[in-house]
């Protein structure tokens, strides 16, 4: 809203200084400051409200050190993340931008699913929360919405340099430069490869001419799978104080860099990456989101004063997935979100191996002392602060490795 107000002051009244709101970098800076202030200042009030309403975590007995002391700690702290992200976005972002609208829908959609799950656990005294099949239905529903919008919306395009009509002349030379053209495309980026664009539509090339118009049959299921996988990965990572919020902030900040350079024609041309018109506006949302995660960490670091609950973890995973898909970097997720992947795989491998050995030997055996992976290290005697810090370090290394993919091909 402030963006449109200052745009009016600049374009209509020509008031000096108001034009600064046209710059994404300025609004992103304001967004991260504002979200940090909201999450740290008002976060305490939300925590006190949750404590007053007796909205506390019910911890299952897992035989982990310090676990019993966490019982009763306020949960649903994901509300802090959601509010401190959306308020700066509504104030500072272009709300008619298709990418911003998708991110707002994702935040509210996944936040609602997570809230219902936490509500059932706390007020219905059901430790299982929302049934898994209903969570999946919600994730699939969001995937259909996101995939359909990104595929069919006319404002979602990429720019390729195919036509050659502009001629630039310098003394003694004549250079024919390509004319940039925007087009609908399901192209994405394969990291660490030269000429690394891959179009999902190519998977249907065997069907004959006109296969491009059926690319949504591939694209939308891929979007559904990514959103479901990443949101569940974030959910599993939220097991010890500060782990999910910290690793997510690192991943989101990295995606913010990708969004900024992909949405800037100068940087995208210099880096020789796909230019995605209007995607740079996501930087404002990302800045607000990073600020809210860091502000939440103020209260979530060990010993945590609040837990994010599924209200936060499912929302975080959904947002990261949509961001990666929007900037055409979803194939980089296994690297960038390597912590989420490891947590997910540890559970899948543990369950599969247990079932296999139980069927073969009559008793179930385990690969890890406990899954998800962070609990394995707790069982080995590591303090959770050490586990979290080391996971953060790994997340930073993965983020740097992901950024290197911009040039290392």
Please, are residues 79 and 314 in contact by the beta-carbon 8 Å criterion? no
Task: Report pLDDT for 171.
Answer: 44
In angstroms, rounded to a whole number, what is the distance separating the alpha carbons of residues 277 and 254? Answer: 19
Cα 311 to its chain centre, rounded Å, is 14
Angle between helices 2-11 and 78-92 (to 10 degrees): 10
In angstroms, rounded to a whole number, what is the distance separating the alpha carbons of residues 61 and 258? Answer: 42
Task: Report pLDDT for 69.
Answer: 65
DSSP structure string for 125-178: --TT-S-HHHHHHHHHHHHHHHHHHHHH-TT--EEEEEEEEEEEEETTEEEEEE
Task: Report pLDDT for 330.
Answer: 94
Residue 310 in marked binding region: yes
Q: Which residue has the tokens 């997910």?
A: 344
Residue 235 in marked binding region: yes
Task: Report pLDDT for 272.
Answer: 86
pLDDT by residue, tens only, the chain of 409 residues: 777 777 777 777 778 777 788 889 999 999 999 999 999 999 999 999 988 887 776 665 555 665 666 777 888 999 999 999 999 999 999 999 999 999 999 999 999 999 999 999 888 887 788 888 999 999 999 999 999 999 999 999 998 653 333 434 444 444 444 445 778 889 999 888 877 788 898 988 888 888 888 899 999 999 999 999 999 999 999 889 999 999 999 999 999 999 999 999 999 988 888 999 999 999 999 999 999 999 999 999 988 899 999 999 999 999 999 999 999 999 999 999 999 999 999 999 999 999 999 988 888 899 999 989 999 999 999 999 999 999 999 999 999 999 998 888 7
Strands 187-189 and 173-183 come out as unpaired
67's CB contacts (< 8 A; 6+ apart) are 59, 61
């Amino acid at each position: 809203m402030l963006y449109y107000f200052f745009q009016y002051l600049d374009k209509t009244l020509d008031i000096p200084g108001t034009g600064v709101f046209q710059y994404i970098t300025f609004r992103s800076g304001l967004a991260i400051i504002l979200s940090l202030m909201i999450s740290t200042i008002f976060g305490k009030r939300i925590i006190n409200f949750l404590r007053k309403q007796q909205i506390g975590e019910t911890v299952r007995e897992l035989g982990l050190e310090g676990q019993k002391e966490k019982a009763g700690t306020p949960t649903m702290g994901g509300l802090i993340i959601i509010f401190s992200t959306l308020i700066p976005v509504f104030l500072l972002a272009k709300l008619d931008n298709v990418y911003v609208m998708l991110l707002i829908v994702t935040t509210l959609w996944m936040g609602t699913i997570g809230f219902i799950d936490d509500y059932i656990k706390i007020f219905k005294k059901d430790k299982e929360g929302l049934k898994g099949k209903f969570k999946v239905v919600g994730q699939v529903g969001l995937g259909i919405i996101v995939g359909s919008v990104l595929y069919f919306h006319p404002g979602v395009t990429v720019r390729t340099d195919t036509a050659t009509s502009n001629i630039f002349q310098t003394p003694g030379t004549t250079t024919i430069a390509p004319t940039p053209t925007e087009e609908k495309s399901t192209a994405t980026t394969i990291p660490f490869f030269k000429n690394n664009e891959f179009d999902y539509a190519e998977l249907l090339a065997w069907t004959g001419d006109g296969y491009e118009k059926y690319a949504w049959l591939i694209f939308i299921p891929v979007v559904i799978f990514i959103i479901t996988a990443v949101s569940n990965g974030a959910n599993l990572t939220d097991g010890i104080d500060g782990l999910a919020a910290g690793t997510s902030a690192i991943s989101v900040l990295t995606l913010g860099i990708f969004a900024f350079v992909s949405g800037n024609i100068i940087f995208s041309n210099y880096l020789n990456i796909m230019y995605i018109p209007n995607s740079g506006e996501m930087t404002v949302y990302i800045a607000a989101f990073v600020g809210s995660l860091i502000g939440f960490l103020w209260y979530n670091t060990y010993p945590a004063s609040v837990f994010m609950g599924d209200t936060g973890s499912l929302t975080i995973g959904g947002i990261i997935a949509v961001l990666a898909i929007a900037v055409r970097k979803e194939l980089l997720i296994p690297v960038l979100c390597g912590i989420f992947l490891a947590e997910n795989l540890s559970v899948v491998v543990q369950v599969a191996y247990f079932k296999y050995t139980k069927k073969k030997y009559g008793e179930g055996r385990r690969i890890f002392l406990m899954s998800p992976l962070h609990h394995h290290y707790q069982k080995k005697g590591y303090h959770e602060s050490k586990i979290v810090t080391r996971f953060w370090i790994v997340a930073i290394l993965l983020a740097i490795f992901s950024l290197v993919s911009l040039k290392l091909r």
